[in-house]
Structure 1
Amino acid sequence: MPPVTGALIVNVGAFLQARSNDAFKSVDHRVVATNTGPRVAVACFFGPSGPVVSGRVYGLIVKDASPLRYRSFTVAEFLGAYSFDGKPALDCFRL
């Protein structure tokens, strides 16, 4: 798909992919820079904090007829699944 001038692109994360049962897909961040015109990128990270992180279990937020693709997890489990070995964190929760 060709770029759209003035478009806003939102890349959702793996947390939303798991909770939406793949309705929203996480993507690897890749950029092809050109020498024409300015390019602005802003990273914003949102997540639970405080008592929510302590032990709340997160599961599916989208109800559809699809089979469940991920098990429920806590934020601590989810953050602990990230590593630098190239293995996607979502693989740890896939059913």
Structure 2
Amino acid sequence: MNTYTYAHTHAPTHAFTHTRTHTHMNTYTYVHTHTLLYMHSHTHAHIRTHTNAFAHTHAHLHTRTHAHTHTHLHMHSHIHAPTHAFTHTRT
């Protein structure tokens, strides 16, 4: 799984960014990524998530990030929409 998807998101005004990244990997290289973005202003966060999956590998990745605005998501997956993102990636 080596799909680079760059998502640049701008948000309204008010401050608080909640970013949740869920990555599940189970045998047969099945990667499930769930990302929720709640945005508002000031500052900016740089979130990077690398996911290297290999068949017959078990892994659990849980990342929580609290930041302010201008959130740049750079991860090996697909990203939909600025406020709500749900990703399904199968390899």
Structure 1 or 2, whichever has the larger Rg, is 1
Larger fraction in helix: 1
Q: Which has the higher contact order (CA 8 A, sep 6+)?
A: 2
TM-score scaled to structure 2, two decimals?
A: 0.28
TM-score scaled to structure 1, two decimals?
A: 0.27
